[in-house]
Amino acid sequence: MARLLDRLDADTRAEIRATAHALADAARSATLRHFRRPGLARDNKDVTGGFDPVTAADREAETAMRAILAERRPEDGILGEEFPDTPSISGLTWVIDPIDGTRGYISGTPTWGVLIAVTDAAGPFHGLIDQPHIGERFEGGLGTARLTGPRGETPLRTAPTKDLADAILYSTFPEIGTAGERRAFEQVARRCRLVRFGLDCYAYGLLAAGHVDLVIEAGLKPYDIQAPIAVIEAAGGIVTDWEGRPAHGGGRVLAAANTALHAAALAVLAGACD
């Protein structure tokens, strides 16, 4: 069955790309206004005793993006992290995360990012991973796979690494997911050449650019992963859940540079988690 993406004309596709960049520009301004500034107000959204911070910058950035969408794409839906969903009339939905990596943001690290994706019922087909402080923007989908930044523009292409023994693996947290998910992750990690932690969404950008081979996560939300899916797939990679199914709903995510490496990691994860 044809997806809505296939029925979009060239003008609509160009407008979607332009709108995505407008959202990213607005979020850059809002997030940089507060970054590394003293006295940044933050709240804890986790009512279970953990720490899930949200700041004024998160809310300002998402508010700015929503205002642009209300003006330019009023019939499209919005799924964001900080405010209630907006239902879609057009069949298209914008999935936005104003700051992916708020813990890093409030710590002053430069590897948080702004995530923007547009999706139809089949999943995301265009996405941006934007790092305002560094000034790098990873774009994928609608015929584009590129990195723009201080060093100019370069095409995105994932690495040819085929074997886990040669792979560089990233994850956000050493204590990934549940105890069972952690054990499954460790089964893959022990087989890889290098394992590093942190970076949040920036690790997905590095995978799309060919510097990282695998990213394995658990407990993700749709707004955490839809933009990375679009960028990585446009660059030649693959993103699924830990059973090889579509991952745009979040949860357990395996992102790999190519199908061979994905199959190798998936074979280890399969059945290894409680």
| CA 207 from centroid of its chain's CA atoms | 11
Contacts of 165 (CB under 8 A, 6+ apart): 191, 192, 193
Instruction: Locate the DSSP E strands across 30-163.
Output: 42-44, 53-55, 77-80, 93-100, 113-120, 123-131, 136-141, 144-149, 152-155
CATH number of the domain residue 65 falls in: 3.30.540.10
Does residue 180 sit in the same domain as residue 148? no
pLDDT category at 49 given cuts 50, 70, 90 is low
Report the alpha-carbon distance of residue 169 to residue 197 in Å, rounded: 8
DSSP-based three-state secondary structure for 75: coil
In Å, the largest CA–CA distance within the chain is 53
* Residue at 16 is within a domain: yes
* Residue at 274 is within a domain: no
pLDDT number for residue 48: 61
Report the alpha-carbon distance of residue 8 to residue 5 in Å, rounded: 5
CB neighbours (10 Å) of residue 181?
21
Place of tokens 């061979």: 260
Does residue 138 sit in the same domain as residue 12? yes
The predicted-structure confidence for 98-135, as pLDDT tens digits, reads as follows 999 999 999 999 999 999 999 999 999 999 999 999 99
The larger pLDDT score, comparing residue 118 to residue 173, is at 118
pLDDT number for residue 2: 74
Confidence check: pLDDT of 138 > 60: yes
Does residue 114 sit in the same domain as residue 194? no
pLDDT category at 1 given cuts 50, 70, 90 is low
Confidence check: pLDDT of 271 > 70: no
| Structural domain boundaries enclosing 208 | 164-269
Does residue 168 sit in the same domain as residue 151? no
DSSP-based three-state secondary structure for 248: coil
Does residue 183 sit in the same domain as residue 260? yes
pLDDT category at 173 given cuts 50, 70, 90 is confident
CATH number of the domain residue 213 falls in: 3.40.190.80
Does residue 70 sit in the same domain as residue 109? yes
First to last CA, the chain: 35
* Residue at 141 is within a domain: yes
Going 67 to 131 to 252 to 248, the CA torsion angle's sign is positive
* Percentage of residues of the chain with pLDDT beyond 90: 88
DSSP letter string over 224-245? HHHHHHHHHHHTT-EEE-TTSS
Kind and range of the H or E run holding 252: strand 251-256
Report the alpha-carbon distance of residue 76 to residue 243 in Å, rounded: 31
* Residue at 172 is within a domain: yes
* Residue at 122 is within a domain: yes
Does residue 85 sit in the same domain as residue 215? no
Tokens of 215: 């990213």
CB neighbours (10 Å) of residue 160?
13
Contacts of 30 (CB under 8 A, 6+ apart): 57, 60, 61, 63, 64, 98
Does residue 11 sit in the same domain as residue 139? yes
pLDDT number for residue 44: 60
Does residue 198 sit in the same domain as residue 109? no
Does residue 29 sit in the same domain as residue 139? yes
Does residue 95 sit in the same domain as residue 175? no
* Residue at 43 is within a domain: yes
pLDDT category at 31 given cuts 50, 70, 90 is very high
Place of tokens 């907006």: 86
pLDDT number for residue 245: 97
Domains identified in the chain, total number:
2
Name the domain boundary from 155, 175, 192: 155
Mean pLDDT of 153-165: 98
* Residue at 212 is within a domain: yes
Going 238 to 158 to 131 to 90, the CA torsion angle's sign is negative
Name the domain boundary from 122, 155, 188: 155
Does residue 103 sit in the same domain as residue 172? no
pLDDT number for residue 91: 98
DSSP-based three-state secondary structure for 216: strand
Name the domain boundary from 116, 137, 155: 155
Kind and range of the H or E run holding 30: helix 10-34
Report the alpha-carbon distance of residue 12 to residue 104 in Å, rounded: 35
